[in-house]
Amino acid sequence: MVSAVMNGGGGHGSALRSFLKKVAQFVIVLATTLLGLVAVTFFIGRVVPIDPVIAVVGDRAPAHVYERVRTELGLDRPLIEQFVIYVKKAATGDFGNSVLTTNPVMTDIINVFPATLELATLGTLIGVLIGIPLGVLAAVKRGTLIDQFVRVLGLVGYSVPIFWLGLMGLLLFYAKLGWVAGPGRIDVTYSYLYTPVTGIVLLDTAMQGQWDAFWDAVSHVILPACLLGYFSLAYISRMTRSFMLNELAQEYVIAARVKGLSEMRVIWRHALRNAAVPLVTVIALSYANLLEGSVLTETVFAWPGLGQYITNSLQNADMNAVLGGTLVIGTVFVLLNLVSDLLYRLLDPRTR
Amino acid sequence: MAGAPLAEQPAGLRAWLLSPEPHSRWQARLGRFYLGWRAFSRNPLAVVGLGIVILLILLAIFADVIAPYSPVAGGDLRTQRLLPPSETFWFGTDDQARDIFSRVVYGSRITLFVVVLVALIATPIGLLVGTVSGYLGGWVDTVLMRITDIFLAFPRLVLALAFVAALGPGIENAIIAIAITSWPPYARIARAETLMIRNSDFIAAVKLQGASTPRIIMGHVVPLCISSLIVRVTLDMAGIILTAAGLGFLGLGAQPPMPEWGAMVATGRNYLIDQWWVAAMPGLAIFVVSLGFNLLGDGLRDVLDPKAAK
Amino acid sequence: MTKPLLDVEDLRVRFHLRTGTVEAVRGVSFQLGRERLGIVGESGSGKSQTGRAILGLTPPPGEVTAKRLAFDGIDLLTASNRTLRTLRGGRISMVMQDPKYSLNPVMTIGEQIIEAYQAHAKAGRNEARDKALAMLEAVKMRDPGRVFALYPHEVSGGMGQRAMIAMMLVTDPDLLIADEPTSALDVTVSMEVLRILDELVTERGMGLIFISHDLKLVSSFCDRVLVMYAGRVVEELEAKNLREAQHPYTQGLMRCLPTLVDDVRPLPTLNRDPAWAL
């Protein structure tokens, strides 16, 4: 069949071949990257100075118990074999059990991940809805006050520590002004009024018509979401400005003006349409950055997401949980990068 | 188009620096440096950034003289805990009756220590991997770049967290963890630059003169990558400071009683509502220093790589 | 006695930069009816900026002044933005140099032509589509329907330039400014494009300003020629009278052109007299 494809001259045969080749390359890159991620976490796991056996049995266990657990954990096998087993387990999502909760780490992660997704999604939404118009405005009105303002916004976003800004936000909006609720996802009194279905409180409460609980959840999520949203919009507006400046200097923009199109149309239908191609990549990357930012944000706001899960496990020396969580975040990162790559190819007709 | 025309014939040192026909390599080098400095100083924000960084260095060196109190020994636990900012305690005191201003000043040493060490460790690694990979190409390039991509695939803070989790908390481990996560972007930059110059005529000329590969890489390729790398490292320093502070905030960096700024914010968290200064002041320090490096990096980029500016 | 289509008197274009003011166009004057005018000059002579100034598209740090700049009696200097936009694309159009850059890469050719048409005619999508296809036929595209759906990077340079012409002429303008329309094309392709341009301009009785650095080309294509140097018009004459050029710059240019008949060795070069730039 392969030879038939190879011999089927010209047009269709070779187009199919090159497409398959691209897909194959793509899969190989993805597989090696993920394998590399697993290798790194495996390596980190082996670097731990704590004896993992003792972590399970305690340091007063008799020798035969120690040996038995050691064999169970597979630590008597050669390193390569251990690695292969580790890879196989990782592929099926088996990261071992959490020392703290005694649940399989994967179960724990599935429980906490939606909370992080909620924050990252809301944050990115804010970043896109505010960041893109700001960036366009700054590019169009280059050198004016609004341009300076957007650049300052971006600069502060790159310099301010997220955990500190979160704390100051809590101080101002929660403690001093009382506009929003404090740390946590929802007030304890409301948490019994709805059943968790999707894991996303806003959706669950709304779907079940528990509006008091819904508004309480909103009041809890708004500050951390705005915090992440600010970082997102600082990044997105800066990149949008940069891309727009690039496009507005192009010949086709002049041609569009020659055609007598309104300036609005030139900016949005021509310049932004072209800037959208790299911009979509930026948005995907921003989402990935917010996943990272949520680690510290969740700590500040006692938000029960993956970030808090990792840091809690860290402080309890629960290596399985830490590594499992790290691997999950790393995988999501890789997938997001991939998605952004694909989107770029889809949107730019020159690369199709 | 030439730059601003010189109105009158400059005398003395300036004339020597700007001379169009320098007599020695040093004169040429200093002259170029002077021109670069003039371009840099035309940007007020960049100068502010430089000022902040210099202030950081001065604080670190002269901490003993500048800080009025000891950063680790507290005052009277009955009367001097959690005092608001005042004439005696400029930034107030914390829960162990220690002067926050003094702690912030001494904390500058830790910040500088972390930043310098990470830069010193990560930059050579990145430079080496990038230039070798770019110059040799082939499977060496593929393997090295795959490894780089794998490290790039992890979010920096998370990977640093995982390493510190494995190695145990402490400032040295934090530095190693951050350095491990910092070198990949430098490798990419070095490789990109190397690819651009690899096929130039002057490299071919040196090869024809019989230079060995290591000599070409070290003597010719590396110096050309340095300027874009310097820009990137400076811009990165803000991120390094933020990551280090983040680790400190989570209790994974310098251990108490060391006055690490991130850890100080974490302590302040417990007293946020009524004694806001305990968290606010060290956080402000992190912000200002980070801002300084960002401004400095932006200014350097405008001077060293004007095409990337704006 | 009809009023001229385009009346330009003492046009000046200045760029106020941080390092000083640069005058790209220094007092250009001419009148244009429904005829073909060529503007010839080297890079930096100000010929392109003249074209942009007429359209009101001088890029931002630039400032345009003139004693008179009028199109069909309408004063372009004091006209409102709305008036200018109606004129641009509707009555005055411009074909630019390189279709690789002057066509929007993420819109199909057909879409861009439709957009140009609908900006000036109250037409529905179907009518605009028909007009666009008709225009593609008029520029001798072999398969107008197929080209309609293609993106600019999917067509060759010659096709792209013809698409550009289609896009700029679909609204039936009175005046066309062609800014180096064939400079980015191969010789044979550019001959074809010029032939099409020739036909369309004659058919529709349009005025044409042909900007180029190629003196020979301009003289064969246009009725009158303006020679520009350092922002000024140094010579204005009928194309057929080029051999009687008075100004030393023009004479120098004519002398530099190699001919098949004479064998002049070495080939003369231009000796610039700084007096020309005053």
Q: How far apart are CA B47 and CA B53, in angstroms?
A: 10
Q: What are phi and psi of C48, to 5 degrees?
A: -65, -40
Q: What average pLDDT does range C70-90 have in this prediction?
A: 91
* Residue of A232, A27, A244 lying closest to A121 (CA atoms): A232
Q: Lowest mean pLDDT of A163-177, B156-170, C68-82, name the range.
A: B156-170
3-state secondary structure of A295: helix
The pLDDT, as a whole number, for residue B310 is 43
Residue A58 has pLDDT above 80, yes or no: no
Which are the contacts of C201, defined by CB distance < 8 A and separation ≥ 6?
A: C36, C176, C208
Is the alpha carbon torsion for C138, C140, C145, C148 positive or negative? Answer: negative
Q: Looking at the complex, report in whole angstroms how far the Cα of residue B5 sits from the nearest Cα belonging to chain C.
A: 9
CA distance A71 to A82: 11
- The nearest CA of chain A is from the CA of C263 a distance in Å of 42
Q: What is the mean pLDDT of chain C?
A: 89
Is B92:B275 a contact under the CB 8 Å cutoff? yes
pLDDT at A212: 83
Tell me which residue has tokens 């979509």: A280
- Asked whether residue B46 carries a pLDDT value surpassing 70, the answer given is yes
- Residue C242 maps to a domain: yes
Chains that touch B (3 or more CB pairs under 8 A): A, C
- Chain C residues close to A144, C-beta within 8 Å: none
pLDDT at position A166, please?
Answer: 94
- The residue-averaged pLDDT of A176-204 equals 82
Taking the C-alpha atoms of residue C167 and residue C161, their distance in angstroms, rounded to an integer, is 10
Whether ipTM > 0.95 holds is no
- Tally the domains of chain C: 1
* Residue showing tokens 């861009």: C112
Structure confidence at residue A8 (pLDDT): 42
Q: What is the C-alpha separation between C141 and C181, in angstroms, rounded? A: 17
Check whether A213 has a pLDDT greater than 50: yes
Of the candidates A308, A284, A282, the one whose C-alpha atom is nearest the C-alpha of residue A294 is: A308
pLDDT at B8 over 60: no
Instruction: Return the residue of B nearest to C20 by Cα.
Output: B4
Task: Check if B7 contacts C (Cβ < 8 Å).
Answer: no
Enter the pTM of the model. Answer: 0.85
DSSP code string of B110-136: HHHHHHHHHHHHHHHHHHHHHHHHHHH
CB-CB under 8 Å, A273 with C106: yes
Q: Is residue A275 over pLDDT 90?
A: yes
Amino acid A122: pLDDT? 94
Q: How far is B1 from chain C (nearest CA, A)?
A: 9
- CB < 8 Å from A in window 128-187 of C: 151, 153, 164, 167-168
Q: Give chain C positions within 8 Å (CB) of A254.
A: 57, 96, 102
Residue pLDDT, tens place only, C207-243? 999 999 888 888 888 999 999 998 999 889 898 888 8
Cβ within 8 Å of residue A203, ≥6 positions away: A197
Convert B250-283 to b/e letters by CB count within 10 Å (16 or more is b).
bbbbbeeebbbbbbbbbbbbebbeebbbbbbbbb
For chain B, which domains are there? 42-76+91-308 (1.10.3720.10)
150-209 in chain B: CB under 8 A from chain A: 150-151, 153-159, 161-168
Instruction: Report helix, strand or coil for C74.
Output: strand
Neighbour subunits, A (≥3 Cβ pairs < 8 A): B, C
C contacts of A251 (beta carbons < 8 Å): 96-98, 101-102
* Residue C221, domain member (yes or no): yes
With beta carbons under 8 A apart, name residues in chain B contacting A289: 155
In the predicted model, is pLDDT for residue B3 greater than 90? no
Which residue's entry shows tokens 């290798």?
Answer: A39
Instruction: Write down the pLDDT at residue B2.
Output: 45
Region for residue B12 given its phi and psi (left: phi exceeds 0; alpha: psi -120 to 50; beta: otherwise): left
Point out which residues pair with C28 in neighbouring strands. Answer: C11
Distance CA C39, CA C180 (A): 10
* Residue-level pLDDT at C260: 75
Give the model's pLDDT for residue A262: 92
Residues of chain C positioned with their CB less than 8 A from the CB of A259: 88-89, 93, 115-116, 119, 167-168
pLDDT of residue C174: 93
Query: What per-residue confidence (pLDDT) applies to B309?
Result: 45
What are the chain A neighbours of B154 within 8 Å (beta carbons)? 37, 40, 326, 329-330, 333
Say yes or no: A315 contacts chain B, CB-CB below 8 A.
yes
What are the residue ranges of helices labelled H in B19-70?
25-41, 44-61, 63-66
Point out the residue among A254, A273, A350 whose CB comes nearest to the CB of C57: A254
Tens digits of per-residue pLDDT, A233-263? 999 999 999 999 999 999 999 999 999 999 9
Distance set, CA A186 to CA A167, A211, A293 (Å) = 18, 13, 21
Radius of gyration for chain B, computed over Cα atoms and rounded to the nearest angstrom: 23
- Measure in Å the smallest separation between the Cα of B308 and chain A Cα atoms: 10
Spell out which residues of chain B touch residue A300, defining contact as CB-CB under 8 Å.
Answer: 269
Q: What is the pLDDT of residue B212?
A: 85
Could you tell me if residue C160 is inside a domain? Answer: no
pLDDT at residue number B308: 52
**What is the CATH classification number for the domain harbouring C243?**
3.40.50.300
Range of the domain at C43: 1-90+216-278
User: Residue B6: closest CA among chain C residues belongs to which residue?
Assistant: C19
pLDDT at A7: 44
- Position C2 scores a pLDDT of 62
- Asked if residue C116 belongs to a domain, the reply is no
Task: Tell me the residue length of chain C.
Answer: 278
Which residue from C minimizes the CA distance to B2?
Answer: C19
Contact C104 A274 (CB under 8 A): yes
Residues A337-352, mean pLDDT to the nearest whole number: 82
What are the backbone angles phi and psi of residue A274, rounded to the nearest 5°?
-80, -40
* Secondary structure, 3-state, B223-255: HHHHHHHHHHHHHHHHHHHHHHHHHHHCCCCCC
| Burial of residue C141 (number of CB atoms within 10 Å: 0-12, 13-18, 19+) | buried
Q: Going by C-beta distance under 8 Å and a sequence separation of 6 or more, which residues neighbour residue C115? A: A259, A261, C107
Q: Is the dihedral of CA B250, B253, B256, B262 positive or negative?
A: negative
- For residue C265, the 8-state DSSP code is S
Kindly state whether residue C250 falls inside one of the protein's structural domains. yes
The pairs formed by A184-193 with CB atoms below 8 angstroms and a separation of 24 or more are A184/A220, A184/A301, A184/A302, A184/A303, A185/A115, A185/A217, A185/A220, A185/A221, A185/A303, A185/A304, A186/A213, A186/A216, A186/A217, A186/A220, A187/A216, A187/A220, A190/A216, A190/A217
Query: Are A295 and B161 inside 8 Å of each other by CB?
Result: yes
Residues of chain A with pLDDT > 70, as a percent, come to: 94
Give the chain A residue whose CA is nearest to the CA of B293. A159
Residue C119 has pLDDT above 80, yes or no: yes
Residue range C18-55, pLDDT digits in tens? 778 899 999 999 999 899 999 998 888 889 999 999 99
What is the rounded average pLDDT of the residues C142-165?
93
Cα C69 to chain centroid distance, Å, stands at 17
What confidence tier does C132 reach under pLDDT thresholds 50, 70, 90? very high
* Predicted confidence band of residue A29 (pLDDT cuts 50, 70, 90): confident
Alpha-carbon distance of A342 to C113, in angstroms, equals 29
Per-residue model confidence (pLDDT) at position A12: 59
Q: How many residues does chain A have?
A: 352
DSSP class of residue A97 equals B
Tens-digit pLDDT profile for residues B92-130: 888 888 889 999 999 999 999 999 999 999 999 999 999
CB distance A175–B272 less than 8 Å? yes
Best CA proximity match to A127, nearest among A345, A280, A244: A280
Residue B158 has pLDDT above 50, yes or no: yes
Q: Could you give the percent of chain B with pLDDT greater than 90?
A: 31
The predicted-structure confidence for B203-213, as pLDDT tens digits, reads as follows: 888 888 888 88
Q: What is the pLDDT of residue B286?
A: 96
With respect to residue C193, please indicate whether it lies within any of the assigned structural domains: no
Distance (Å, whole) CA A136 – CA A138: 5
Q: What's the DSSP call for residue C29?
A: E
Chains touching C (at least 3 CB pairs under 8 A) are A, B
Burial A163-202 (b: 16+ CB within 10 A, else e): bbbbbbbbbebbeeeeebbbbebbeeebbeebeeeeebbb
Q: With residue A263 as reference, give the H or E element that holds it.
A: helix A263-265
Size of interface A-B (CB pairs under 8 A): 145
pLDDT of A241 = 94
Task: Examine residue C254 and state whether it is found in any structural domain, yes or no.
Answer: yes
| Structure tokens given for A91 | 């592929």
Round to the nearest angstrom and report the end-to-end CA distance of chain B: 19
Whether residue C144 lies inside any domain: the answer is no
C23 Cα to chain B: minimum distance (Å): 14
Q: Count Cβ atoms below 10 Å from residue A144 Cβ, excluding itself.
A: 11
